[in-house]
Amino acid sequence: MWQLFWSFLKIGAFSFGGGYAMIPLIEREVIERHKWIGRADFLDMMILAQSSPGPIALNTAVFVGYKTRGVGGALSAVAGIVLPSFVMILLIALLFADIRHNPWIEAAFKGMRPAVVALIAAPILSLSKTVHRLLWTVIVATAFSIHWLGWSPVVLLLAGALLGIAYEVWNAKRLNR
């Protein structure tokens, strides 16, 4: 459990830009470095973490910790990923009023934006290697529907969930014949 805590503490301490920016670090730590879970399980966890309420990095920490060491592992991973942010936000809250209009601070935040976009794109490209080509059509159509047609992501998620359930039920019945 100490290993889970330490791994997620490093992830929480050295990633900027929110949960999506943490995904490549989590992926590298739990799949490649420690081999706690496989790539397919990680992709499933990411889907669950995204569709569960709360921050994606926190949800992923819960799922990885629970899968590897049960409830204690989940608590260790959550403590590790939350602690750095908590301490940093506490310090910033104490100091930010004095430095918020500092041009150096503003420039640093502007400079971090492109890196955050790259950190979000990296796991998408990495995890996309396991996605079936037909699903790419669904991904592109969904992105198009949300961005250009203004459709609600909630409606599309519910429709996708219902279609996925219907497909699995149909497939199970087909295989049992």
Domain boundary among 130, 149, 168: 130
Half-sphere exposure of 165 (CA within 13 A, CB side): 6
pTM: 0.56
9 and 45, same domain (yes or no) = yes
Same structural domain, 19 and 103: yes
145-175 pLDDT, tens digit per residue, is 999 999 999 999 899 889 889 989 998 888 8
Q: Hey, how many other C-beta atoms are within 10 angstroms of the C-beta on 134?
A: 8
Same domain, 8 and 59: yes
Tell me the HSE value of 75 on the side-chain side, using a 13 A CA sphere.
3
Parent domain of 163: 132-177
Same domain, 63 and 114: yes
Tens of pLDDT, residues 26-71: 888 899 899 999 988 888 888 888 888 888 888 889 999 999 999 9
Compute the mean pLDDT over every residue in the chain, rounded to the nearest whole number.
Answer: 86
